Structure 1
Amino acid sequence: MLAAMSTADLRSSPEAPSASRERGDACPGTLRLHAADDGALARIRIPGGVLTVRQAVALAEAATRLGDGDLHLTSRGNVQVRGLGEGCGGELAALLDAAGLLPSPTHERVRNVVASPLSGCDGRGLLDARPWLSALDAALCASEEARALSGRFLFALDDGRGDVAGLDADVTLRATADGGAELALGSAGEALIVPAGEAARAASAAAETFLERMRAGGTNVWRVDELALGNDELLGAVERRLTAWGIGHERRARNTGRTQGPPPGVVGEALSAHVPLGRLSALQWRELTSVASGELRLTPWRGVVLPTPAITAARAAESLARLAAAGLVTDPDSPWLRIGACVGRPGCGKSRADVRADATETLDAAGPGGLPLYWSGCERRCGHPRGDRIDVVAAPEGGYRLSTAVAGQEPRTTSIDHPSQLAAGLAAITHEPHDDREQ
């Protein structure tokens, strides 16, 4: 039986409250593992999600030899290896270092960079963001100051199409039509325009300014929007640093992003596939690496883009068929594009339900249209997407609580006693027609 209920808005505000973090940042990395209920967890930063085939093979070897055999994609285009045994940290680090996935042991957790995954592949961007990516990663690893950044601090490099510009990054670079780069901080409404050739250096300067202002205020925060500092004051401090570094700049109103990932299928000179719930088996990973033409790009939407220059239509169709046969999503109308979930039980001790299993069993009820659904085992909603959605949160008393999270609207909520009631619950909060015979 469905029971309507009133609850607080479950959305994350883009303006996080200013507060000093009382504890240190415990975000896991390659060298700092996290103890989960299914074993230790390593989070490997993959700047821009870009992997060579050799690096992808090394990741698969790490998961198979040391972990649970699967690779878990995150909402930042990084990779998690779960189920790691006790005492295997050194072996994991050595394996990844040999593959070039650990260029700086002191900076490995701060290399959080997302980038437009189709950049240079479909002709839609204003420039190829890859030079920015390489330059920013090198600048971060070379900066002693950057070592102090939280493992949650995020950079976004947008080639002008607007796809990653709306991912709530702390420092965003976006190519402009006049050949420059827009540098934005957190959710600030104004940005600085800098020369495209200085974009990576300017982003590094912005991150160092954040750390400087944080220390000056005597606080310990992880994200730009947590600073007890007005946006204009922080932007002014960045301007002064840019001037000191000899980087020209001017203020402008900021562009907004649309946070939309590549559709599955053939996109320009690339193949795109979605990974259901972000979990890749060894078989699926092998298929991806065998189809890839030298490189894979993991997306913040838990997908994979395979650049395929000069591929024939017949070869593209054959490759997509292989990926689909392995269980990857290549159909742009698949309901999987609407569904996400945290790890849930048994991997997380805080989860109240096996949310991945429940999401899978109710896939048909969710359907391909409407708002995205994100299943969470508790109110933390780890890994939830940005933008409008429906939160499906396991309730303490059992069942799930459904709540709309739509910008500018009051949330609509309801409760369901069992996942099989999902279709009726969605109808109740979205005012869509529902036929009980479909249960």
Structure 2
Amino acid sequence: MKHKLRASFLNILVLVTLFSSIVVAPAVASAAETVDVEAESAILVDAQTGKILFEKNADLKLPPASMTKMMTEYLVLEAINNGEISWDTTTQISDYPYSISSNPSFSGIGLIQDKDYTVRQLYEAMAIISDNATTIALAELVAGSEGEFVKMMNAKAEEIGLPDYQFVNATGLSNEDLGDNYPEGTDPSADNLMSAKSSAILAYNLVNDYPEALDISSTMMSELDGRPLENLNWMLPWDNNNFAQFGFEGVDGLKTGWTEEAGYCFTGTAERDGRRVITVVMRTDSKGARFAETKKLMEYGFSKFSKEELFPAGYQIEGESALPVAKGKEDTVEIAAKDAITEMIRNGEKENYSVNYVLDESVLNEDGELVAPIEKGTKVGTMELVYNGETDYGYIGKDQVTQTVDVVTTGAIEKANWFVLAISSIGDFFGNIFSSISNLIKGMF
């Protein structure tokens, strides 16, 4: 009897253990799907779609330090693209940036007055070693003064949809640091402010609109006036102790930052196998910490997410694959997605996505019909991606809520001839009369 009881107890214990493993396993797997980032604020974004893969206090507005210079880079590249200046355009150093360059507290490289510097030289010093004086010189070249350039910075921030920002100078220093040289029209005690999300949106626009920015942000070494310019981004692949410790395959940008108020910040980007991610960490504890925490985000992005074609071009939603047609030789026309929907998704979550049609009412009549003639490929609306899982951080695009593609007709429908239309009209006429009489009789009884 004792043996039987012991055997029964062991069987129950085994069953409980198996049941516990079934219940607990998903929770453990779920916990492993996140990342612990030791920064006050952070974000991870897919650079193709703008999909947010992870965020931590990403809407918190903080001083971005020299990450401010990403906006200066954008406006300089925009001026080049618009033909207002070129890489070979030259300028000289005015008294203001010269005073910054010669001040050891600003880590200036010692620019020379009465000398012509090209835009390329000044931009490299700004992007590679985050030089403040060359940044100011570029702002003065593009806008005439740093005060006017700041107006351009804030206008561009609004245009591209930064949700949280304040630009008061081109460099990322506080205006108090600049003393009497603070830009005209700004508060002398103010500081630049951006959230991690705003920094990511700025980086997203920079790398997508002007990918040539990455050619310079990934340059390991250059020189100016015989002085070496060694990149401050320790995640670039290079044979150096710092770089060996924090280097990450695929990194080619983007911008470091540090002030006492801001702490150590970094906006990074990396590309692997045709996939690019953008990361931001703000207020980390040290030079190395900003790269170590960025590395966590990048490893998480590349290992836990993959680019998937969720719905192919030509996809049709079952039961909604056709629209009614008025005045046509056919009563319906097939509709389908014009392009494929591709998304960066968490591994194993493909089944958590579905799609909906959003029809354009302006192309339909009051009865919800398309009116013939209809050409093949006529846009009738959009197909939007729907996420049905648990964690959705959304997108960083200005007005983007989800991924969409156009929905179009797959064939052409000719207009019916006049005789068919006449017969149809007569039928509709008598049908309306019959309906009216029927309703009248119902009302009498």
**TM-score (norm: length of structure 2):** 0.25
**TM-score (norm: length of structure 1):** 0.25
